[in-house]
Structure 1
Amino acid sequence: MKAGSKKKATKSKPKPKARPAPDKAVHSADIQSFRTRIDSIDEQIHQLLNERASVAQQVGASKTAQGMHTADFYRPEREAQVLRKVIERNQGPLRNEEIVRLFREIMSACLAQEEPLKVAFLGPEGTFSQQAVLKHFGHSVRALPMGEIREVFEEVQAGHADFGVVPIENSTEGTVNHTLDMFLVSPLKICGEVELRIHQHLMGRMQGLPQISRVVSHQQSLAQCRQWLDEHLPGIERITASSNAEAARRARDEEGTAAIAGQTAAEVYGLNLIAHDIEDRPDNTTRFLVIGRKLFNASGSDKTTLLFSAGDTQSPGTLHRLLAPLARNNISMTRIESRPSRKHKWDYVFFIDVLGHSSESPLKEALEALKKEASLFRVLGSYPSAVL
């Protein structure tokens, strides 16, 4: 210390007052009281669930006595109404998605009291189509994987499956044409729709990108991840597969092969998740259709899908003339697609989705007028709009 310098006096900071030790006995008592209350609530829930299942059994017995079959027990319009009421009265803290999923499983379990529904889907196990089945019908159904979309239609038409679930469009890549084309030759009806948020993951036996020699996936998934692949795996061969699950199987069995698929496929085939959520758009969603053998009643918030043609689609104003009845009756059209009719070249049919049920006004009147203008006209289905 230099001569003449003065050392500044420093004030010592007061020590913080010690907090009183928590009363462990009181804290444990609070936790125990909460647990006792939860146990009591669980007991009430359990009792009510069994009561609901018992009533469902009585309904099933009544339908069986009337000669109805398992498929007749499922009423999509009724289930949609129940789930909408669930959302309307939900005050939290559970989110709408969570509470809807819980009630869907309750209805699924109750419906399966007599015999589980058999639902065909585009397999194998681990596809997004299987996820759509479980989201719409719950886990108490028998999910039947099929190798092709055509086989899903055939299983339902033959009565080997009660319903089928097939992809119809993706928000990024558009329409699944194979599904549309099946409606040209199949008498089946559309009974419902499912919207599934699609998360694509890169998976394989390897640990990282440098070990990847090729990427395999369904053509839709490859297209949905095009930008990510261009940036992270440029020059790597891309191979299309019949399904994402088939791609995952190849990734399991082939050295250097990685697959793009959902997380379920990685679990089923024992693969490492190399990259998560590689889809190019964060809102990437696929819409699926539920197909069955008959039409159902209105649910209060419905869509209708139509198939029609004017015969001579090259004449000026043909499409305008066909759609005019919808405009006159203030019907909202949400989607339109054209496909070759397969009768002769340059002849097309139109698929459109509109809001409303075909049995209710004003759509009923609009369809009657449209039918008079069309050379081919079919209502493919009137069904509840997707609930979440």
Structure 2
Amino acid sequence: MSLEEVRNKIDSIDQQLLRLLNERAELVHAVGEIKRKDDLDIYVPGREDKLLRKLAEINRAQNGRLTERAIRAIYREIMSAALALEDSLKIAYLGPTGSWTHQAAVNKFGHCVEYLAEASTEGVFGRVAAQIADYGVLPIEHSTEGAVHHTLDHLADSALQIYAEILWKADAAVMAQGPNSNISEIHGRAQMLAHCRPWLMQSFPGAQLIESPSSSAAATLAAQNPAVAALGTPLSAELHDLRVIATSPREYATQTRFIILGRRSGPPSGNDNTMLMIHAKDRVGALMEVLQVFASRNVNVRQIENRPTSCGTQARFFLEISGHHTDATLRQAISALEVEGIAVQVKVLGSYPAPGWVEER
């Protein structure tokens, strides 16, 4: 075929795609009406994950040219547009604009929903609790910095729960107005600068590394000065109209777990995790007694964190458990902790689908 014939064929396919997308939108609208009538959540993470996995399998069976990552990116925006049509979905996140949390939220929910930047963890919890935002996105664990204790502590004191989880793998981007040769300073968050220091010193030997309160603040400075570069997210480069002039090698990638904060737990998906907060008497063997309750019932404890309490005679443990809190075995284990006096208090902080896909940009 000639170039003109190929382009005409593409135009014809685009018309069909638009017709089918609008047909899909009508069906999604019908689903939204049913959900509103029955007071169901518009966003269902387990359903989303099953759909994306099914689409990837169909694509592989058809020997499609598109990669799974491309399929997921395309359908993320299709679903984002549908969510925006249905409920004008609002997502609060730990800002500022262009932060790593903002980037992870956009990668999860797409560009069509509304985002609300908050300066603090308290702000995100407050927006969701007041129903100003439908969901919140907050970091809960960094591969380089460990658990995010602010998030855990607020979960312990709040009626809000973990609704879903995002696993996010990020390469750091160096962004500037112009070419590498003009860069005399690179600004970025202290932790990220420290993590990427060997690579930055090798790639930009004449540049001074300077700490900034946030990647967004660094990008703002870079947008004002052609001799300054910023270390941050690709989204921050887009928002500040900067060029990405270098991307960190894969060995410098960091992985972060984010929670999607909601007003209730996610519904059972068939492959879930549950976060528990357990207060136990501060004595020798307290944690071992807690773990034994789960081990004796063949329940997997995936992760443990401990935090101080205001009461010096108690220990506070955060446990991530395999399973949904409505599962019979997990209900029995929680009951045993309280009935047998092993725990002073057990609080379910949320059940959510176990992530089977690592988001990255």
With the length of structure 1 as denominator, give the TM-score of the two structures. Answer: 0.80
Unmatched 5+ stretches in structure 1 = 1-26
> Match of 1:321?
289
What is the CA distance between 1:187 and its match in structure 2?
1.7
Retained in 2: the 8 A contact 1:303–1:385? yes
- Decide whether the 8 Å contact of 1:323 with 1:370 is kept in 2: no
Q: Distance in 2 between matches of 1:377 and 1:93?
A: 50
Q: Which moved more, 1:55-64 or 1:150-159?
A: 55-64
Per the TM alignment, residue 93 of structure 1 is displaced from its structure 2 partner at its CA by 2.4
Distance 1:32 1:234 in 2: 50
CA-to-partner distance for each residue in 1:259-291, whole Å, 9 max, x for gaps?
321122123224454542167x34421111100
Q: Please, which of 255, 258, 276 is the counterpart of residue 288 of structure 1?
A: 258
Distance, in Å, in 2 between the alignment partners of 1:83 and 1:102 is 10
Identify the range of structure 1 (37-46 vs 75-84) with the bigger mean alpha-carbon deviation. 37-46
- 1:99 Cα deviation from its structure 2 partner: 1.1
Inter-partner Cα distance in structure 2 for 1:321 and 1:75: 35
Q: 1:21 matched to which residue of 2?
A: none
Shift of 1:220: 3.6
Cα shift at 1:244: 1.5
Helix, strand or coil: the match of 2:156?
coil
Question: Paired residue for 1:386?
Answer: 355
Q: Pairwise CA RMSD of aligned residues?
A: 2.9
SS of the counterpart of 1:362?
helix
Note if contact 2:334-2:346 (Cα within 8 Å) is conserved in structure 1: no
The one-letter code sitting in structure 2 at the alignment partner of 1:85 is K
CA deviations on 1:200-238 (whole Å, 9 max, x unpaired) are 12344575578535x543344234324435666699564
Matches within 5 A, 1:51-130: 51-65=23-37, 68=39, 72-91=41-60, 92-130=64-102
For the residues of structure 2 that align with 1:250 and 1:33, how far apart are their CA atoms? 48
Determine if the alignment matches structure 1 residue 360 to structure 2 residue 332: no
Match of 1:307 among 260, 277, 280: 277
In the alignment of these two chains, the number of paired residues is 351
One-letter amino acid of the structure 1 residue matched with residue 140 of structure 2: I
Distance verdict in 2 for CA 1:35–1:266, change over 3 Å? closer
8 Å Cα contact 1:199-1:277 kept in structure 2: yes
Conserved 8 A contact 1:189-1:295: yes
Alignment of 1:180 with 2:152, yes or no, is: yes
Match of 1:263 in 2: 234
Give the letter aligned to residue 359 of structure 1: T
Task: Provide the C-alpha distance between the structure 1 equivalents of 2:91 and 2:293, rounded to a whole number of angstroms.
Answer: 36
Partner-residue secondary structure (3-state), 1:126: coil
Deviation of residue 170 (structure 1)?
A: 1.9
Q: Distance in 1 between matches of 2:209 and 2:123?
A: 30
The code of the aligned residue for 1:174 comes to: G
1:73 and 1:375, CA in 2 relative to 1: closer, same or farther beyond 3 A? same
The answer on whether the counterparts of 1:201 and 1:278 sit within 8 Å (CA) in structure 2 is no
Per-residue deviation, residues 36-60 of structure 1 (Å, max 9, x unmatched): 5544544443333222211121222
**1:155 CA drift (Å):** 0.8
For 1:273 and 1:225, how far apart are their aligned partners in 2? 16
Q: Report sequence identity in percent.
A: 38
Alpha-carbon distance between aligned partners in 2 of 1:47 and 1:211, rounded to the nearest angstrom: 48
Deviation digits for residues 340-362 of structure 1, max 9, x if unmatched?
22x14585411121222111243
Structure 2 contact 281–313 (Cα < 8 Å) conserved: no
Using the size of structure 2 for normalisation, the TM-score is 0.85
Match of 2:308 in 1: 340
Cα distance in 1, alignment partners of residues 182 and 84 from structure 2: 48
Distance in 2 (alpha carbons) for counterparts of 1:85 and 1:382: 23
CA distance in 1, matches of 2:20, 2:178: 49
Give, in angstroms, the shift of residue 110 of structure 1.
1.8
How has the CA–CA distance of structure 1 residues 138 and 211 changed in structure 2, closer, same or farther, with 3 Å as cutoff? Answer: closer
SS in 2 for 1:299: coil
- The structure with the greater share of residues assigned to strand is 2
**Structure 2 Cα separation of the partners of residues 108 and 211 of structure 1:** 38
Q: Provide structure 2 residue ranges, at least 5 long, that are not aligned to the other structure.
A: none
Larger Rg: 1
SS of 1:193's equivalent in the other structure is strand
The whole-number CA distance in structure 1 between the counterparts of 2:242 and 2:131 is 36
User: Which of the residues 324, 345, 355 maps onto 1:376?
Assistant: 345
Q: Which amino acid aligns with 2:337?
A: L
What is the distance in 2 between the residues matched to 1:64 and 1:266? 38
Distance 1:221 1:123 in 2: 16
